[in-house]
Chain A
Amino acid sequence: DQQVKQNSPSLSVQEGRISILNCDYTNSMFDYFLWYKKYPAEGPTFLISISSIKDKNEDGRFTVFLNKSAKHLSLHIVPSQPGDSAVYFCAADRGSNYKLTFGKGTLLTVNP
């Protein structure tokens, strides 16, 4: 039972364009969402997060949007850069820093 789903295994965009990575969840108890970025041969690193009391959080080129009614969140990267090429994991948490539930990841390739 995949509670956090990233339905696109891969995404390819041109440098300078917008990258949109999507994530859906099924567990309504989740109240905190995070995005992690992973390069090959490295562990995931935290990118950006959003609480369920917000619908948007922005950090530089990265913006996360949360639609609670649809149980959907998305990560926007604008403008995309070749160095953004990595696997992006969506993760969900439910109160008190409980264990993270991750999606399967989306491989983003940004072409020069």
Chain B
Amino acid sequence: KAGVTQTPRYLIKTRGQQVTLSCSPISGHRSVSWYQQTPGQGLQFLFEYFSETQRNKGNFPGRFSGRQFSNSRSEMNVSTLELGDSALYLCASRRDLGATNEKLFFGSGTQLSVL
């Protein structure tokens, strides 16, 4: 069974640009969450989607947005990039909202560098 797949693996952008990251969950998983990992802040929750609806949201500005498609694949978009957005963005999936966090499976992440 394939794991959580994130593309691209690496991205380099400049300030002011926008970026879209993609995540394909494990087959059969309908919940997708996004986390940002930085050395200074650790892992921080961005948002969670289930059945194409945002269910939970973290404390990030509106520049960070996401969506989920009917096949459960998810995209995350960051507009007007800032230097501080440089981070590893991790996607995680679980079967449904009732699945515990022990059953949360992470992808390898997309490393975004903003120059």
Contacts and interface: CB of A to CB of B under 8 A. Distances in A.
B56 A98 contact: yes
Nearest to A45: B106
Given A41-B108, A43-B4, A99-B58, A34 B101 contact: yes
Contact of B42 (A34, A42, A45, A105): A105
A52 B108 CA distance: 30
Contacts of B102: 34, 46, 49
Interface residues of A, number: 22
A54 to B, nearest CB: 14
A30 interface: no
A91 B100 CA distance: 13
A99 B106 contact: no
Interface in B30-46: 33, 35, 39-45
Contacts of B104: 46, 100
- Which DSSP category, helix, strand, loop or mixed, fits chain A's interface? loop
Could you say which of B40, B101, B109 has the most chain A C-beta atoms within 10 Å of its C-beta?
Answer: B101
Interface of A: 6, 32, 34, 41-46, 49, 89, 91, 93, 97-105
B61 interface: no
Nearest to A89: B43
A5 to B, nearest CB: 10
Contacts of A45: 105-106
Nearest to B45: A99
B42 A89 contact: yes
Given A98-B56, A102-B42, A104-B42, A91 B108 contact: no
B25 interface: no
B45 A104 contact: no
B87 interface: no
Given A34-B101, A103-B42, 18 more contacts: A6-B42, A42-B108, A43-B90, A44-B90, A44-B106, A46-B103, A89-B42, A97-B99, A99-B33, A99-B48, A99-B56, A100-B45, A100-B101, A101-B45, A102-B35, A102-B42, A104-B39, A104-B42
